[in-house]
Amino acid sequence: MIRDLKALVWGGLVAIFGGLIGVGGAEFRIPVLAKVFHYSPLPMVIINLMISLVTVTFSLVFRSGVIGLETVIAHGGIILNLLCGSLLGSYLGVRYATAINEQALRRIIVVFLVVLSLVLLGHNVILGLVGWTMPRGLQVVVGVLAGLVIGLFSSLLGVAGGELLIPTITLVFGVDIRLAGSLSLVISFLTVLMGLTKYRSQGMFGRVRKDRRFILFMALGSAVGAGVGGYLLQYVTSDFIYIILGVLLLGSALKLSQEEGE
């Protein structure tokens, strides 16, 4: 019962950030699943993808009150552009994740968290480059390549990739960061779904069958948290959130690296 309550609370806390900035929150769920609930890397990745799917879905619904779905649909070309690469990357990522040993996968996760934290902390520098407009043809090529890399990380590490999608959409396509968050949710939804489908086809769901109750409670908390985050979107500045989450990710990477050395 205590474990169920902890899953509910942690799911909600992480999903608040997801609803707020337009991400699945998987990067912030990684240290929780590893340190608080002591999951090994591969089951952690699968559970993370499942909870990310719930968070992304509810975040998109609740954010629609601030960023209308008609606005998201109007930018469907950007979504299709990035999806061309991300779905292929997601498919390939599962193949690598099921072949790599757990120690190597943990090291990849640590490196990913460090890189991501630096991206978040330096987002003002990234966004400052938006004044340069890429030619349309270059946008398409860069969008596909970026989507491929992000999709690869999505399945490999069990993340939706929103923290990488948002800067990519803003930088490459010159889109406002709040709209970029909603666009990233659509892309993340389809990318995570692809990853889960591939894991299921390889029979990997059996690794987390005993955790169904845990997944249910964390998913419930994530749905509520996504609603809270979507509501707060209209009141909290994105700059402040990026800085705080960047620091948290850096701390999480440090803790995971220390755990590996124990």
Residues of the chain above pLDDT 90, percent: 15
Report which of 62, 53, 44, 46 is spatially closest to residue 25, judged by C-alpha positions: 53
Task: Output DSSP code: residue 235.
Answer: T
Tokens of 258: 């220390």
User: Could you report the per-residue pLDDT of 51-92, keeping only the tens digit for each?
Assistant: 989 999 999 888 888 788 888 889 888 888 888 887 777 777
Average of per-residue pLDDT values in the chain: 80
**Over residues 163-190, mean pLDDT:** 82
Query: Model confidence at 228, in pLDDT bands (50, 70, 90)?
Result: very high
Q: Which two tokens stand for residue 78?
A: 């950007």
Q: Give the residue with greater pLDDT, 237 vs 262.
A: 237
What pLDDT, on a 0 to 100 scale, did the predictor assign at position 127? 54
* 193 vs 135: which has the higher pLDDT: 193
User: Which position has the token pair 């909870």?
Assistant: 51
Say how many Å lie between the first and final Cα of the chain, rounded.
29
Distance from chain centroid for Cα 155: 10
Position 158 scores a pLDDT of: 59
* Mean pLDDT value of segment 175-181: 82
pLDDT tens digits, 13-66: 989 978 887 878 877 788 889 889 988 888 888 899 899 899 999 998 888 887
Whole-number pLDDT of residue 8: 94
pLDDT in tens, 215-226: 999 999 999 999
pLDDT at 130: 47
User: b vs e for 8-29, b when ≥16 Cβ sit within 10 Å of the residue's Cβ?
Assistant: bebbbbbbbbbbbbbbbbbbbb
pTM: 0.76
pLDDT digits 0-9 by tens, 95-143 = 666 666 667 767 777 787 787 778 767 766 655 554 456 677 888 888 8
Nearest Cα neighbor of 236 from 64, 19, 61 is 19
Give dist(CA 86, CA 108) in Å, integer.
Answer: 19
d(CA 257, CA 109): 9
Tokens of 126: 């990234």
Helices (H), 158-237: 162-173, 177-201, 212-232
Q: What are the boundaries of each domain within the chain?
A: 2-261
